[in-house]
Amino acid sequence: MDIFEKCYSFQNAEQARKQRLYPYFQPIETEQGTEVSIDGKRLLMLGSNSYLGLTTDKRVKQASIEAINKYGTGNAGSRFLNGTLDLHIELEEKLAEFTGKEAAILFSTGFQANLAISALVEKNDVVIIDKSDHASIVDGTRLGFGKVKRFRHNDMTSLESVLSRLDDDSGKLVVVDGVFSMEGDIVDLPKLVELKSKYGFRIMVDDAHAFGVIGKNGSGTADYFGLTDQTDIIMGTFSKSFASLGGFLASDKKVIDYLKHHARSLIFSASITPAATAAVLKALDIMKNEPERIEKLWENTAFIRNGLKNLGFDTGKSVTPIIPVLSGDMMKTLKMWRALFDEGLFVNPVLPPAVPPNAGLIRVSLMATHTKEQLEKALEKFGTVGKQLGIID
């Protein structure tokens, strides 16, 4: 058997391209603002994770330029050896303060930050994850040598059922998203902490989609619930509200020091670039000093969610700027994506296996920089397409 046989027989993508229903790898020709250009066509961006709209902020861009002028374009090595800058240390200290933790460590991507879970979970340990956790969490648990258990999405009764069957002597880590990236709901952290006191596990929260969105000045899920002290590890990515690329973990000093010397995704990877680091520093400063951006984000979120519901769309259990518009089977979801694209809206179709069969959805995400006029236009287009496809009356 030729190991490439699976590649030559893969036809799904090509069939979708022929039907003009292939939604991926669309080449954007402009900066990631509220509007983008694809193949010369202007589209309203409703699929970006730039929740605060800082990817186009002049101050963030200038900070990156100045960092390149001072440090160059890269670090030519890992943090472990020659790749640590004073800029990295400054950002780690500010992120630790921002999250209410003793220390933090930077990774070159958010995915790599979650791969560091494998450094914590050894042979006799157990890691328990939500079935809707991000793929990087799933892969991080797979790389570890411990056992992996899963529980139903945001269902603390299901989690307790898993916990009650575990060996009391094993080390246990429960890893959850703070804001779930497809459903748009928030983890039931208070109940999770209640179970922690009963079963004696550690909690890690992935706040990739929570920073800049919930908590004081956008400081995340633990702060939102007032449970920072009970949340043992906080993870974040820089590719959303922080307008850059990279990720971090924040925790006790001893935990971070251990990860510095055991996390392979840190030790064997080049460090985050000067430009990316400087962009995060400036974005963090803006986030803390301009809370009106978060207020505007939530104003836009309420406007769109209420508008979609009034049109008759099912938006699931979303309570955040991530709004799923349930569309049905794979073909109907792709047709809805195509129709919205042709109408001038950029949205993200989500298909199985990312969601259950016949539970496809269009993922809408809001930005603080969207105008009311843009959002009114979006609702008009959604109404037209929804009626054409029979998704709403």
- Known catalytic residues are 181, 209, 240
Which residues lie closer than 8 Å to 185 by C-beta, 6 or more apart?
A: 154, 179, 316, 317, 318, 319, 320
Q: In whole angstroms, what separates CA 274 from the centre of its chain?
A: 22
Are 104 and 284 in contact by the 8 Å Cβ rule? The answer is: no
Residue closest to 173 by CA, chosen among 127, 123, 136, 207:
127
User: Which DSSP helix (H) or strand (E) runs through 41?
Assistant: strand 41-45
- For residue 214, what are its two tokens? 């919930």
Six-digit token pair at 183? 């459903």
Q: Nearest-5° angle of CA 149, CA 199, CA 153?
A: 40
Q: Is 17 left (phi over 0), alpha (psi -120 to 50) or beta?
A: alpha
Q: Which of 279, 381, 278, 291 is nearest to 338 (CA)?
A: 381
Query: CA 127 to CA 114: how far, in whole Å?
Result: 13
- CA atoms of 145 and 140, how far apart (whole Å): 10
Helix (H) / strand (E) element for 325: namely: strand 322-328
Query: Cβ(179)–Cβ(322) under 8 Å?
Result: yes
Q: Are strands 172-177 and 126-130 parallel, antiparallel or unpaired?
A: parallel
Phi and psi torsions of 181, nearest 5°: -75, -15
d(CA 246, CA 244): 7
Exposed, middle or buried: residue 50 (CB in 10 Å: 0-12, 13-18, 19+)? buried
Closest alpha carbon to 290 in 57, 102, 25 = 57
